[in-house]
Amino acid sequence: MNKPETFSFVTEENITLNMNLHRATSNRKNITILYFHGGGLLYGVRDDLPEMYITAFLKAGYDFLALDYPLAPESKIDLILESALQLVLFYLQNSEQVFSLQNNNYLLLGRSAGAYLALMMCNLLLKNEVLPPMAIISLYGYARLDETAFHTPSKHYNKLASVPAESIAKIISDSPVTYGPMNLRFSLYIKARQEGTWIQHLCGKENPSNYSLPDEQLNTFPPTLLAAATLDPDVPYKISKTLRKLIPNSHLITIYKEAHDFDRDLKDESGKATYAEIIQWLETMHSTLRN
């Protein structure tokens, strides 16, 4: 895979966000995939998608732009959403001049919390009458922060050793964090899920329903592909099933196993099969749009 080009953008709040652009060199569709990483909005890095999957998108002709965003609890959900929106708008306004792309056609792809951001970005763009994505790809994502499972202690994470409070104090920074490797910040997520305080880290005293998409708004969304595992311990499978019913022209890939980010293990055939189906779905969608 060719080495990505790195671009930087400074938000109105003076937060520097970086982006990695991988360019397709053949079979070009002149469509860019804007990617938001996962990590519960508490941890994660923009370049976490395994190289083999990025290469698959590039071979299919799609450019791939991986994005930073501010992480909680250093930044609350309002700032996270606003910063992500500013970054998408920066791409839309500068796709040719800054990124040297032929146009600003794009898709939104997110994994877990990144899928939540993708869905929220689409909603904000539609509400502000800005060019929406041609399609959305949501891998084990969600559209609401007021899900009951997100506010109660997790049986799955409580099987792990309890995370001491003093270790968490060492993780949290006094300034915004935009790049949070799993080995440094995952314990923050574990503790939040053990205690059922995850959403509090994101929203503070704000009502999480304010950061949840109503059914009628999802009805206005572009074609959407969803993928999730039936026994996902982090994000209940029923969430993806509900999104499938609410979003027109959507398709759900079901993985029958107990896993969340099933595409992280490159030995697992589920991930390979899922991305092959995603690319086939994109090919079909692209052909339909051309016709």
Element (H, E) at 84: helix 77-94
Residue 168 within any structural domain of the chain? no
User: Structural domain tally of the chain?
Assistant: 1
Q: What pLDDT, in 10s, does the model give residues 82-133?
A: 999 999 999 999 999 999 999 999 999 999 999 999 999 999 999 999 999 9
Residue 96 within any structural domain of the chain? yes
Residue 181 within any structural domain of the chain? no
Residue 156 within any structural domain of the chain? no
Residue 184 within any structural domain of the chain? no
Give, for all 291 residues of the chain, the pLDDT tens digit. Answer: 568 999 999 999 999 999 999 999 989 999 999 999 999 999 999 999 999 999 999 999 999 999 999 999 999 999 999 999 999 999 999 999 999 999 999 999 999 999 999 999 999 999 999 999 999 999 999 999 999 999 999 999 999 999 998 889 899 999 999 999 999 999 999 999 999 999 999 999 999 999 999 999 999 999 999 999 999 999 999 999 999 999 999 999 999 999 999 999 898 899 999 999 999 999 988 766 554
The residue type found at 279 is I
Strand spans (E) along 159-223: none
- Quote the distance between the C-alpha of residue 259 and its chain's center: 17
State both tokens at 43.
């941890």
Residue 164 within any structural domain of the chain? no
**CATH code of the domain in which 111 resides:** 3.40.50.1820
- Quote the distance between the C-alpha of residue 170 and its chain's center: 26
* pLDDT of 290: 56
Contact 13, 84 (CB under 8 A): no
The residue segments making up the domain with residue 262 are 5-147+209-289
Rounded CA-CA distance 43/186 in Å is: 6
Residue 248 within any structural domain of the chain? yes
Report CA-CA distances (Å) from 275 to 36, 134, 194, 196. Answer: 16, 18, 31, 32
* pLDDT of 1: 54
Rounded CA-CA distance 232/80 in Å is: 25
* pLDDT of 3: 87
* pLDDT of 225: 98
Residue 202 within any structural domain of the chain? no
Burial 197-206 (b: 16+ CB within 10 A, else e): ebbbbbbeee
* pLDDT of 10: 97
Angle at 165 between CA 163 and CA 171, to 5 degrees: 90
* pLDDT of 291: 45
